């Protein structure tokens, strides 16, 4: 009898706790309801265009037939994954994708941080605004225009770079037809295009640093470099860690647009990446199941990378995504 009473008492307590949590959640929602309403269109957009289409992932495990549809197509299991792993292109695609992303991470990730620190040191407000605007502009130019400009600059006939080389007595080079130069060109182009836009986040983080810290450092005799090292960088380190986690998560997600516009069969050795391979096999050769399997593999590696980076950041610092 006593056990029954105890069980009944525990049940009642559980129900009361659930009701209390529900009331607390409802009060919290009503308090910030306008923020939730503002977020609603974004949530609907992500659900419709990012989560609902994930149903189509199953064609990676089927021999998809456009006339039979996703449901009617027969299952093949991991057949296309095995074909991709055994393909002669597997290691080349993996190497090229990783190296292009790694060079972007190694040289492109610190670039907006350094530029933001330089902008932060500028005292002339007019000059600062002009230089910031100029650095932002390439971000708003379409990829087609950016690549067209790069092609014109590097043209072996009328390109500015080759004209300068010829002016100093050198021999003109067909840069976009030589596999050795592709990774360097691609990395520099992306840095030029994104460095100004990337500074916005770090400049916003810099505004949160207490100016009194700099005043105290000046009184103690610290120069600009010591102020940057001991005050500025520690003040934005949390932002740097978050951005690094996102960047590492995209380590195997090289954008196909610029590569497709820049590469040609002569530079496939260093330029062909997973996303361009998926484009050729999926849209050009209409092998939808195989292309979906390759894309799913790429996404799975990205998930592992971002999870591992987040775990390391959480272990060795106080900042993480979750």
Instruction: Please give the Cα distance from 79 to 301 (Å, whole number).
Output: 19
Q: What is the pTM of this model?
A: 0.80
Tens digits of pLDDT across the chain (322 residues) = 444 444 444 465 666 677 777 888 888 888 888 888 998 999 999 899 888 888 888 999 999 988 888 888 999 999 999 999 999 889 999 999 889 889 988 998 999 999 998 898 888 888 888 998 899 899 998 989 999 999 999 988 888 898 999 888 888 888 988 899 999 999 999 999 989 888 999 988 888 888 888 888 888 888 888 888 888 888 888 888 888 888 887 777 777 788 888 888 888 888 889 888 998 888 888 899 999 999 888 888 888 888 888 887 787 777 777 7
Whether 289 and 82 have beta carbons less than 8 Å apart is answered as no
Our measurement of the distance from residue 242's CA atom to the centroid of its chain's CA atoms, rounded to an integer in Å, reads 11
One-character DSSP codes across 280-295:
IIIIIS--HHHHHHHH
Burial class (CB in 10 A: 0-12, 13-18, 19+), 101: buried
Q: How many other CB atoms are found less than 10 A from the CB of residue 276?
A: 21
Distances in Å between the Cα of 282 and the Cα atoms of 68, 75, 279 are 18, 18, 5
């Amino acid at each position: 009898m006593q056990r029954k009473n105890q069980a009944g008492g525990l049940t009642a307590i559980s129900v009361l706790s659930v009701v209390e949590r529900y009331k607390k959640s409802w009060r919290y929602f009503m308090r910030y309801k306008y923020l939730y309403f503002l977020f609603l269109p974004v949530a609907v957009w992500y659900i419709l265009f990012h989560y609902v289409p994930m149903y189509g992932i199953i064609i990676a495990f089927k021999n998809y037939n456009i006339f039979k549809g996703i449901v009617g197509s027969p299952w093949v299991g991991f057949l296309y994954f095995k074909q991709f792993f055994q393909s002669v292109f597997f290691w080349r695609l993996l190497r090229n994708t990783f190296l292009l992303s790694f060079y972007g991470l190694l040289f492109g990730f610190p670039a907006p941080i350094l530029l933001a620190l330089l902008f932060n040191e500028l005292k002339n407000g007019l000059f600062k605004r002009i230089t910031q605007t100029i650095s932002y502009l390439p971000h708003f130019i379409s990829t087609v225009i950016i690549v067209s400009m790069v092609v014109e600059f590097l043209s072996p006939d009328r390109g500015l770079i080759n004209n300068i080389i010829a002016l100093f007595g050198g021999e003109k080079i067909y840069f976009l037809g030589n596999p050795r130069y592709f990774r360097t060109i691609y990395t520099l182009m992306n840095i030029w295009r994104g460095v100004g836009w990337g500074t916005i986040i770090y400049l916003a983080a810099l505004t949160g640093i207490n100016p009194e810290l700099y005043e105290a450092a000046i009184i103690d005799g610290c120069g600009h470099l010591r102020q940057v090292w001991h005050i500025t960088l520690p003040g934005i380190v949390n932002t740097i860690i978050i951005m690094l986690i996102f960047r590492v998560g995209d380590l195997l997600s090289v954008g196909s647009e610029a590569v497709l516009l820049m590469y040609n069969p002569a530079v496939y050795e260093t330029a062909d990446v997973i996303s361009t391979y998926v484009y050729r096999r999926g849209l050009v050769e209409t092998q939808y199941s195989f292309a979906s399997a390759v894309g799913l593999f790429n996404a799975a590696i990205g998930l592992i990378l971002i999870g591992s980076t987040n775990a390391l950041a959480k272990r060795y610092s106080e900042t993480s995504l979750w």
